[in-house]
Structure 1
Amino acid sequence: MKTNNNIQNDIDAIFDSVNSIKDVHVSPFFKDRAMQRLFAEKQVNQSRVWSWFSPQFQLATLMVFLILNVFAITKLDSNATSDEIDEFAETYSLIASEYESIFN
């Protein structure tokens, strides 16, 4: 086991080594350049993830969506659809039939 004197010598040696550390000199704009590189890399990563969702693809998707909606609306507004629904309801007796009640 080490004695207290040996431990104290080790602690003193460590503190002396701290005093021998020299200052580091960097260029004045080192931090600015490093930050620009970091932000540039982050922007590149984001563009890779969303590169398939380009404005051209968004416009094409919007146009297809609008065309399908207009087509569906025109088909649903036709009178033939309501006639077919009435015929279906009559065939399967889904419409309340008119009968004479004893209360009338």
Structure 2
Amino acid sequence: METNKDLQNKIDSTLNAIDAIESVNVSPFFKDKTMQRLFAEKDEPVTTWSWFSPKLQLATLVCVIVLNIIAFSEISKSNYDENINDFAETYGLSVSTDSSILN
């Protein structure tokens, strides 16, 4: 029977602890405010290309223009026909223009 008394004492102490808890005062619009915050549609800006700032765009444009100017100047310096003929002769792709005795 002693275990029943211990059990009854534990039950009584638990019920006394519940009585000691005070009620909490909540704003009447707490639920509405919380629901609005949870389900509010937020328009977040797209940040996919945010790193590509106008300064970086300008620097990229300048680099592309400089590279194009260098490439066009190098192309105009070289003679295309001479380079093709040198390439063909080096790899044995050219047709001989010399007339042979048998022709």
Larger radius of gyration: 2
Q: Which has the higher contact order (CA 8 A, sep 6+)?
A: 2
Tell me the TM-score normalised to structure 1 length: 0.45
Tell me the TM-score normalised to structure 2 length: 0.45
| Structure that is richer in helix per residue | 1
